[in-house]
Structure 1
Amino acid sequence: MQAQVYPSSQPPGISVTGEAEIQVMPDEVIITLGVESKSAQLQNAKSENDQRVNAVIAALKKTGVKESAIQTDFFSVNPEYRSADTTQPESYTVRKRMMVTLSDIDAFERVISGALSAGANVIQGIDFRTSALREHRDKARSLALKAAQEKASAMAVELGQTIGRPLQIIEQRGGYWSYYSGGWWGGHNYGGMSQNVMQSAGGSAEGAGTLAPGKIKISASVSATFELLQSGN
């Protein structure tokens, strides 16, 4: 990004952007499990699905998952036809989805294995998160502001000037990304001359069993305009 000097009717200023990224260890995981049953008879499909769901819930509780951490949030019945001109369904598919919230990352593999053994046949999502997201976002924003200020100061020096008070600060949309979920939350790609800052926020990447959770990336970006002063002012 190039320095922008304002017309004489406005205070001379320099506009920059700053980015920051913090990597943190997850302390929470949300597992989305599904049970799908199919039969030529609707009642049979529903009965089998109910039995398997109850077995999965029992298995989850046996592994130490609290009942309050298990939520059934989706249910569907889909008739399937042999052809478009047939009014009688050939079969019925019953689907039920459960969301399991774990605060013990070490229990992840044990819980997944237990659920699959009990009858879960769909894993729709695995979301590793941090319960201190707000705190880390605030820290990333602070680092982004510092990056913007440092860059503005460095650019002003190249012009033989210095920076003064901030005239405008705009927070851009930040990002939250986990290797396991494979998606962005409010993610945005920033290009140009953005100042990049990375800080590792504690924790180890080592996990129990065969699971080694990667760190969650939390990013922030700001645009800032600072007064542009002659050196010595």
Structure 2
Amino acid sequence: MAALRVMLVDDAPLVREGIARLLRDDGVDVVAQRADAIGILPVVEQDRPDVVILDVRMPPTHTTEGLQAAVEIKEQHPDVGVLVLSQYVETHHAVDLLIRARRGVGYLLKERITAHADLVAAITRVADGGTVIDPEVVRNVLETPRQSDPLDRLTEREREVLALVAEGHSNASIAELLVTSGRTIETHTNRIFAKLDLEVTSTTHRRVLAVLAHLRAGVTSAS
């Protein structure tokens, strides 16, 4: 099996090189490193990475350049995965990216990655077209005030299950995390999707997209 090809985009040289070293130790091919996202599309076209890892705040304005570049990459190169690594939770922009990208996308917080194996696993999932979302991002969206909150229809346990669905977990994974049976989780997810008027599907990525679309609508209505 060919090594994963990764491009790193981060304006902090020590962070960027540190991540590159960890990835190389795990057999990942770091094909390029950049300190900003300016003019990144031709570079992606040239180097053909499987996944581009970007920080959020980079030159020149240090606001949301990374997220904007991630959207552009997915629009022009939909088969290239994008994984945003940040110190910050940019809730609105993060949900917008995850919805618009449709597949092969992730948003993780740097400080919460405690093992390089977790980062490699996230990169692999994104390269395979999956979705990876940091629990902190999900928590921030779930806690965003809304004038009329459909999440009020859910029980506390259903909210817990919904958060795990939004992070990209399958029913089997959720059952393991909550120490219960798969049948119980299936019942919970079916009730959640029914209460929120979402399509019930067994495909993990479609489940995540449905939840994110619902959450984005809630965030937009409250802003």
TM-score range, shorter chain: under 0.3
Structure (1/2) with the larger strand percentage: 1
Structure 1 or 2: more helix by fraction: 2
In the superposition, the TM-score normalised over structure 1's length comes to 0.26
Bigger radius of gyration among the two: 1
TM-score (norm 2): 0.26
**Does 1 or 2 have the higher relative contact order (CA < 8 Å, sep 6+)?**
1
